[in-house]
Amino acid sequence: MCGIVGYIGKRDVAPLLLEGLQRLEYRGYDSAGVVITSPKATGLKMVKAKGRVRDLEARVPKRFTGTTGIAHTRWATHGAPSDENAHPHLDAAGKVAVVHNGIIDNASELRAKLTAEGVEFLSETDTEVITHLIARADAEKLEDRVREALRHIEGTYGIAVLHADFNDRIVVARNGSPVVLGIGEKEMFVASDVAALVSHTRQVVTLDDGEMATIKADDYRTYTTEGSRTTASPTTVEWEAESYDMGGHDTYMHKEIFEQADAVDRVLRGRIDDRFSTVHLGGLNLDAHDARKVRRVKILGCGTSYHAGMIGAQMIEELARIPADAEPASEFRYRNAVVDPDTLYVAVSQSGETYDVLAAVQELKRKGARVFGVVNVVGSAIAREADAGVYVHAGPEVCVVSTKCFTNTTVAFALLALHLGRIRDLSVSDGKRIIAGLRQLPAQIEEMLEREDEIKKLAQEFAEAKSMLFIGRVRGYPVAREASLKLKEVSYIHAEAYPASELKHGPLALIEPALPTVAIVPDDDLLEKNRAALEEIKARSGKILAVAHREQEKADHTIVVPKNENELDPILMGIPLQLLAYHTALALGRDIDKPRNLAKSVTVE
């Protein structure tokens, strides 16, 4: 998705902005651009390029100096990736420059109106209308011109505006797309993601929807789009700049897979209460009285977060005996669902910015529902919009393909399930049993990751497959779904996940030697049922890789995973399959951290 970075201060701005853009590369993009000026300059200097930030860098002339600027990485929505469509967009006089994240819903209407008034458009983007509206606004101050332009806009935006006649400031505005100010010593930053700022400052102010800000080198002020002042106190970003580095690994995906033991340790830290065999979840704001009144739990998320939510729903049903289910937020928000006051709605999102999840949360809140967030990024839109919630503390996840956040989110759900269970009918001994299981996880993850070489060998074989089937039953089914998603998004091999119980109802017709099946076979009450499925596949000459707690005789290969408590087994069983997806993609020479067509946070519909 698009990224914004801006700076105003005394330093040479172009290298700073290019570095900021590089730190946003992980979000996915197809073109980039930068515009700069300085207090003594009379105009703006701009460079744009289709392709990578390094392509942009190659075009930056030697004498491209200034101390104020804004820059952008674009992910095409209106108009193909090209130099012309890359941001920033300038008005005809070359005085107003705008970078924009989000989508302007009434762009064609505004474009037609402006064209009829004689404006010549240089790009196919929706963003360019904002530039022309600002240029044509009749007001003295830049802030008022931006405000006037935004009055015509319907849709979502995070924008940064630079004006040649007001080169002591950058004006920014937010509606549905993140904008964060970074406060330095006599210098200020702006970005759509703290990743672009943390190597310079960890003091940030996150704008709310409907808020604008003016940043100058030594000052900032925030106000609403109507013009009333707002008070925004800076907070400190927890994540260190180094957590965004590759740390000796070849890819972020590999690094993040190998960070999982530490990440799980973090999500557990300080939360376990041995005295009452439960957990404390500080941000939950749900007392025992309210918790007992919850009659259903509905979990909403997209992609990997939805899969973590499916695992969470099962844990809540098992441990707290509250009916629970998960649904893709992207579907939920469009189906006019019945919103029930006794249901606890849980929005799950690593980034906290996924538009479909945010829109579902807003719709639920409008209908009076109570919404909890299970989120990784502190202060993100969903975290702020939710009434309460749990942070998953996985640390920054840079690879587009989510791994450690999936694992930490499932652990966060285990904590929530245990908490609700112990308020309701989960016994002290079961509480103790689950706590002991949770404590074992980091060491078991380490043990699992030691099998990397074995999995790497298997991946060489799987890299030749055209398609793969993933099956699991009950607890194993969300694991199969997540493993199938991992494989397809990073290796581009077609993969399909099915409940093992459904084999006979159709997918068995696909089984043949060329279609490998990955089967999740936990050592639980359904072991024999799962073994029967393996028999059925073997009888049709299907090749099987089992992920199990002991060797499976019908499988061609078994990856043996350490056994935990039945309820917690899904947390561990996905990990070898993350490695399988990784090494398969590596064998196929894929761009592991930035799979084609995908973005890290999907902040548009």
| Tokens (6 digits) for 180 | 């964060």
CA distance 303 to 289: 33
* 402, 558, 584, 603: residue in contact with ligand M6R (rule CB under 6 A): 402
Residue 351 binding ligand M6R, by CB under 6 A? yes
Comparing CB distances to ligand M6R, the nearer of 1 and 212 is 1
User: What are residue 63's phi and psi, to 5 degrees?
Assistant: -95, 65
DSSP, collapsed to helix, strand or coil, labels residue 557 as strand
Residue 602 binding ligand M6R, by CB under 6 A? yes
CA distance 18 to 57: 7
Q: Considering only 292-300, 387-395, 508-516, 594-602, which stretch makes contact with ligand M6R by CB under 6 A? A: 594-602
Tally the residues of the chain: 605
Q: Considering only 32-40, 400-408, 441-449, 577-585, which stretch makes contact with ligand M6R by CB under 6 A? A: 400-408
Residue 400 binding ligand M6R, by CB under 6 A? yes
CB of 305 to ligand M6R, least distance (A): 4
Virtual torsion, Cα 599, 601, 603, 605, nearest 10 deg: 60
* 548, 601, 603, 604: residue in contact with ligand M6R (rule CB under 6 A): 601
Size of interface with ligand M6R, in residues (CB under 6 A): 16
Number of Cβ within a 10 Å radius of residue 395: 20
Residue 354 binding ligand M6R, by CB under 6 A? yes
Are 482 and 574 within 8 A, CB to CB? yes
Q: Considering only 83-91, 101-109, 186-194, 302-310, which stretch makes contact with ligand M6R by CB under 6 A? A: 302-310
In DSSP notation, 277-312 reads TEE--GGG---HHHHHH--EEEEEE-HHHHHHHHHH
| Tokens (6 digits) for 527 | 């072991």
Of 545, 308, 321, the residue nearest 409 (C-alpha): 308
User: What are residue 132's phi and psi, to 5 degrees?
Assistant: -65, -35
CB of 355 to ligand M6R, least distance (A): 9
Alpha helix (H) residue ranges in 321-451 = 329-332, 355-366, 381-385, 404-423, 428-449
Of 478, 469, 479, the residue nearest 503 (C-alpha): 469
On the CB side of 412, how many CA atoms lie within 13 Å of its CA?
A: 33
Residue 349 binding ligand M6R, by CB under 6 A? yes
Comparing CB distances to ligand M6R, the nearer of 103 and 401 is 401
DSSP, collapsed to helix, strand or coil, labels residue 363 as helix
Cis peptide before 88 (omega within 30 of 0): yes
Tell me if residue 405 is catalytic: no
Residue 304 binding ligand M6R, by CB under 6 A? yes
Q: Considering only 125-133, 241-249, 345-353, 413-421, which stretch makes contact with ligand M6R by CB under 6 A? A: 345-353
Question: Chain-centre distance of CA 180, in angstroms?
Answer: 17
Residue of 45, 255, 554, 600 with catalytic role: 600
CB of 369 to ligand M6R, least distance (A): 19
Residue 578 binding ligand M6R, by CB under 6 A? no
What is the enclosing helix (H) or strand (E) of 174? strand 170-175
Map the footprint of ligand M6R across residues 454-513, applying CB under 6 A.
489
* 3, 9, 303, 507: residue in contact with ligand M6R (rule CB under 6 A): 303
Of 220, 540, 553, 601, the residue nearest 376 (C-alpha): 601
CB of 381 to ligand M6R, least distance (A): 10
Comparing CB distances to ligand M6R, the nearer of 73 and 354 is 354
Are 174 and 205 within 8 A, CB to CB? no
* 357, 493, 515, 555: residue in contact with ligand M6R (rule CB under 6 A): 357
CA distance 31 to 50: 4
CB of 157 to ligand M6R, least distance (A): 20
Q: Considering only 145-153, 350-358, 386-394, 443-451, which stretch makes contact with ligand M6R by CB under 6 A? A: 350-358
State which residue has the least CB distance to ligand M6R: 303
Residue 260 binding ligand M6R, by CB under 6 A? no
**Number of helices (H), then strands (E), in the chain:** 19, 27
* 350, 444, 517, 530: residue in contact with ligand M6R (rule CB under 6 A): 350
* 24, 49, 86, 401: residue in contact with ligand M6R (rule CB under 6 A): 401
CB of 406 to ligand M6R, least distance (A): 7
Alpha helix (H) residue ranges in 43-191 = 53-59, 107-116, 127-136, 142-150
Residue 305 binding ligand M6R, by CB under 6 A? yes
Residue of 2, 302, 399, 405 with catalytic role: 2
CA distance 229 to 231: 7
CB of 42 to ligand M6R, least distance (A): 43
Are 580 and 487 within 8 A, CB to CB? yes
Q: Considering only 300-308, 318-326, 365-373, 528-536, which stretch makes contact with ligand M6R by CB under 6 A? A: 300-308
Are 26 and 594 within 8 A, CB to CB? yes
CB of 569 to ligand M6R, least distance (A): 21
Residue 302 binding ligand M6R, by CB under 6 A? yes
Tell me if residue 50 is catalytic: no
CB of 274 to ligand M6R, least distance (A): 31
Catalytic residues: 2, 600
Binding site for ligand M6R (CB under 6 A): 302-305, 349-351, 354, 357, 400-402, 489, 598, 601-602
